[in-house]
Structure 1
Amino acid sequence: MSEPTRSEQTDILARYRGRLQLTRVVMGLERFVRCFWPLLTVLMTGFALLSFGVQALFAGGVFLLPALGLAAFVALIWGIWRVRIPTMEEAVSRLDTQGVGQALATLTDTPATGSTGIWEAHLRRTRMRADRLRPPAPDLRVARRDPWALRLIAAVAFIAALFFARGDVLDGGFPPDGSSAVAAGPVYEAWATPPGYTGTPTIYLTERQDDAFTIPLPEGSIITLRTYGEGFSLSQSVQSAEIDLQLAAPGLYDATFPVAQAGEVSLERGGAELVRWRFTVGEDAAPTISFGEDVGRGTGGVLEVPFEARDDFEVVAGAVTITLRPEAADRRHGLTVDPVARDAIVLDLPLPPRAGAEISDMLVQDLSQHPFAALPVSLRLEAVDGAGQSGRSDVLDIDLPRRSFFDPLARAIVEQRRDLFWNPNANARRVGQLLRAISHQPADLTAPPDTFLTLRDIVEMLETSAADGLSEEELEEIAEELWTLALAIEDGELADAAARLRRAQERLQQALEDGASDEEIAELMEELREAMRDYMEQMAEALRNDPNAQPQDGEQSGEGMQMSQQDIQDMLDRIEELSREGRTEEAQRLLEQLQQMMENMQMTLNQQGQGQGEPQEGDGEGDGEGQGRQGQVEDSMREQQDLADRTFEELQRQFRERQGGAPLLGQEPGEGLEGLAETQDALRDLLDSLEDGLGSEALEEAERNMADAAEALRQDDGRRALDEQAEAMENLREGLRQIEEGANSGEASDAERQGDAPDSESERADARDPLGRPVGNGQALEGGSDVVPEAGPLGSMQDLLDEIRRRSGEMDRTAEERNYLRDLLDRF
């Protein structure tokens, strides 16, 4: 190939001139940076040093500016000596590096020999590659030439000087009078820090000097002012004390002082004012706190204290103080003596981690065991803010709540515990005597096992300790024992769901009679609901597990149970509503109806378990006329029970219709209360025919109850009808007992006339029934003193019935034995 001339090369590369010129600029910029970065570093460093007034920090600072000038001059000469302007050939070579095959250099070549056509084709392909070439991006990296990163340090100092330096670069190096002494420029900074509890951020004080502009600060804010250099003076009117700048380091002065009042802060240098700030101080008022609504007793006898607190910034703490008011107590019995002095109760109020300026919350605390429980007390709330200021509420007088005790024995023990706390030494003898009197005849009281043994041990402990004076530790121990015993008596150890239900009903009935508060009624209603749910679940489990207890119509049984649960809940809600409205008599009547209904459900379950209509052993014509009439009376009682159930179902249906509810699935339309009156009349006529020759006053009273029930049904008064039907059932049971007693007394007379029974009868007398009692002559079911002994392990008729019910529900017993037990329940 022959080398083209320069003019020929220029003509060939004319179409790429723009790209080549841009490449030369890129190369020139790269060479400039590589040659003059020391000069830029020196200039940025000098600007930062002069801006921050470094020349005033040491004695030789007067030579700083000449030194910087000399360093800049040397860097400039070094850069000029090193820099070179890029040539066209260098640009072509640099641009060729952006592609492959050195396209631009190839275009400037000429072939020495060979085919012209082949060369032209090669040039066309090369031009296509050259057309795709683009100028390179500048490479300004100088890290290899600056291993210590001095350029970066200078850049950071330069930027810091632009934003933070207060000096004047032109004037800061020399004083205005042209003297050789170098003074620092007016370099300073200041900020105000509000108290942390305000949540207000730190305020950076600028060079604002507007006379109309004031800066509001919270009370207790701290101002910090810092100057760099000499000759500054501080004046202020926000603090009564004199405040001066203090030397913190060579050339560094600062001052820190609180803002106590509105005023001004100014900074001067050399008699000239540099800056002035005006401040106003916002007053931090003391917090306020007050009681919310419904302060008093909560569920379970806990103390509930709703409160509301407010502050300018934040409430950081709060407490309630409870003080005894002995002058307001009912000073009778154990409270006649003067009480011992006791410290007030102080409880911290619940506050969130970041309470804020407004708080609305409630303190819930169980103080049932405290000596002040059930006594008059005074409550006062107190709130504290971040500044330590406190605010108090008005005094509220209440009786300190305590858990309610409805069992008389438990209530008496708790009252004696209160008297013992009132004045231990003065009341110890009296409390011991009363507790001994309570436990004098334990057989007359119903309580868990070992209750009275425990009570007597506590009395002995009290009397022994009181002989030498009760210490605080002994008093606490005895009080804890009395409280534990009262809880055991009150809660009891009930055996099954039926006993818990009966206990809950009795407690609610007693509370209604005593006019208990709405809170106590609500608590007892909740207890009754839980006991009712347990009882219904137990009945449903018995129906599922006992094949002898299944009714013949399974579908009807399931729906009836579901209907009863829903109606029970409606009745419970109605009882609670009546008690809240103050209609306690109506609530008591409705509760009695509920009790009667639950008894009917228990009887129905027992009858289903026996298998209605099946002949029982010993029944038949050979039993005699007396036993035949007895069986007819029993049939009348069952039919009366069935009629009472139908009456109640009709009331349920009417109740649902009045409430706008739909009847349950599968429920037939009711026949109406008037339709049931005819059935009631038929039962009364049947009982009237059975009375001839029996002479039972109870059966005569049952007949009158049936007549009154029929009249109530005709008047569409279902509630009165249910009451009369329940009385009729009770009188029928009493009539059966009278008939059995008469029959047994006659048999006893015959036995006396006939003398002793043969040996076979003695053997039969040794036989025992499932309850472990002697069967005797086979008449154990017909009454007599052996049926219900006057004394024994079970103690009373109610305990005996409860034990029979429990055993009749044990599935591990045989079906014959369970039928026998249910027959006992049906008879008694």
Structure 2
Amino acid sequence: MTKTSPSTPALTRLIWPLRMTRAAMMAEGVTRAFWPVWTIAMLALALFAFGFGAAAPPLAVLITLGVIAVALAVAMVRAFKIFRMPSRAEALARLDATLPGRPISALLDQPAIGADDPGAQDVWAAHLRQMAARTQNAQAPAPDMRLSRQDPFALRYIAATAFVMALAFGTLGRVSDIGETVGIGPGAAAASGPSWEAWIEPPLYTGLPSLYLNEILAERFEVPQGARMTFRTYGEPGSIGIVTDIGDLPADPADPAVQTIVIERAGDFTVTGPMGRSWAISVLADQPPMIALEGELLGEPPGQMQLSFTAQDDYGVQSGTAHIRLDAARATRRFGLAIAPEPREALVLDLPMPFRGERTDFTEVLVEDLSQHPLANLPVSLVLTVTDAAGQIGTVSYEIPRLPGRRFFDPLANALIEMRRDILWSRENATRAAQLLRAMTWNPEAGLDEGVYLQIRSAIRRLESAVDTLSPETRDQVAEILWNAAMELEIGDLDDALDRLRQAQERLSEAMRQGASDEEIAQLMQELREAMDDYMQQLAENAEPGEDRPEQDGERMEMSMADLDEMMRQIEELMQQGRMAEAQEMLDALQQMLENMQVTQGGEGGDGPRSPGQQAMEGLQDTLRDQQDLADDAFRELQDRLNPGRPQQGQQQGQQQGQQPGQQQGQQDGQGQGENGQPQGEGEGGENGEGMSLAERQEALRRLLEDQQGRLPGAGTDAGDEALRQLDRAGRAMEEAEGRLENDDIAGALDSQSEALEALREGMTELGRALAEAQAGEDPGQGQAEGNMAPSRQLQDPLGRQAGNSGSFGSDEAMADRQEAFRRSRELLDELRRRSAEQDRPEVERDYLRRLLDQF
């Protein structure tokens, strides 16, 4: 092959791509050769734009200018030595390298042999036509402007950033200060006449902008106290002066042309000489911060202290503390408190500050558990202190009659806590406390736990082992032992449900006698409800379905769980009204009824066979519960994917605790069978779906719902037809969720599952209405028997409300009368709001949380 001239006619169409390629190569060469030049130039401009020429001594400015000039000269010489204009052949080779098969080189070639062979000439012509076709798509390659090898420290980026900052915040006009600084003699400054400029910089913590005095046209203005004024003169020294009483002038300034004044008081500021001006300056004093207790110091059961406070400051509070000291003068000085207390340092707690937003006016809540502190349940003095950025302090004091702490309602536990309080009050009470503890353990109760007994004996030995005075270390050890023993007595682990129920009732009775607060009463009522639920669960598990029971003589009382809840509500109302005697009588009656209770299972042996309507309603309740569990599992899997490192243990424990009653109930219901012989509570999509994927569980639930629709009673009525339509909508939503789960779209599946849950609830509501219409005219008492005493399988919505027989939430229970439900509702909504506001959570999870908030 031989090369032809570059002027081949086939290459005429490559003129513009070739020119663009050559221009790109030229840009690459200029960038690689001249980048040090403009880097040095931008750094120099940024340096002098920020006032280096005016602030630095003339000698330093001259040296800096010399270094810059030498660096620019070296960079220019290097650039011209490196840079070389690219040739046309080089551009043609660069363009040819971007095309497949290098067609441009082929077009420039000629065959070395076969010139007289017509066949070879035809083959060569066909080859040239193919290469020419490839050149039709030729495009100039983008220039390679990377300089990472030439500039490994990215100096060009530093220079560009400094130059942009100078443009945005500096004054390029100040570069002209170089001439005045390096000028010898009067020079240009003398020619242009003397001048001055001044600016005021407020303290940084105020967040206020600087003021340029030359641009202030008003005769009066206001600045914060402590602001710094800088006054600079240009031209002949002494031609311009200042007269002011806003602050002390520097006696011997380092530079006579620059004077700095700290504004401490209001006054006049006058510039004398050419361009003279005068201003009246007012000083805005920095006010000290203020703090106040918001409401009362509250106790949050079981033993937390809740302190709400409001703080204010004109520029923002920096920090705050709460000092708590014993107020022995207001304590009840009897028994172990009759002697003088030992000196004890104040308890210091840091007050919480807002993480975001302004700190000029805010309200925060401090929550601390001080149950084990020696000051718990004693009168104290509270001192709240806040500090601002200027170091000013604001303080306020309060007398607190009782520092909130844990209260013990078990008599023996209360006695142990009293002995603990006495030895922490003063170590002189050690002998008295040991004697009383010996008296407690001389003839212990038969039910006293052996571990508690041994702990008390250990405390006695430590108290009596002190020869002269109890050491602080031994005192703290005894206090820890007595606390653990009291806690085990108060909330110890009880295996027997009836004993736990009796203990909860006794603690509630003791709290009523001691005049406990409403919060403590509410907590004990909740513990009583939980103990009653456990006891009812044990009764239900021990009751055998269909067993023969002897006829009982006389009357017997039949109650349902709703009746028991109503009694609990009445007891709580009586306590809130202060009618403790009546509440105690009703509590005793409730205890007697619970201990004499006899429970039968629903089935052939109790109330007789269940009606088809009841079976259908229970089946839909199972489906609703399983669908809710599936949605919860899908949401947890979404969280695991989005937050792989989030903690799991606490949530798993909560899930196990929350699913255990449902699993046990499902086992009980599984003992009976429906009309088609399928075990109740063991549907395809129920709790026996272990090992199945989310999509498979969703498909099983959809098929189970279709089977339940075929056996749904109430067809032909308006309510029954509406129930079928709602269940059809639920089935379609389940099918959409199934498809999205198969496509791994969990966020979309959660939306479909939420729609399915809503449709299921509405369908159950309409089914309940249809059943009620069908049963109109029947005996309202029919179907009420002892079997109702079994623990209900009613579902609960996130607000704590239970589903009624019609499937609608909150229909069978007065929500306004349940303080505990309101508390749970508030906690749930607060948690949803907190999580939705966390910016580090993925957006898809925050969208789901916001949709949950929209539903409530």
- Give the alignment's TM-score, normalised by structure 1: 0.50
Tell me which structure has the larger Cα radius of gyration: 1
- Give the alignment's TM-score, normalised by structure 2: 0.48
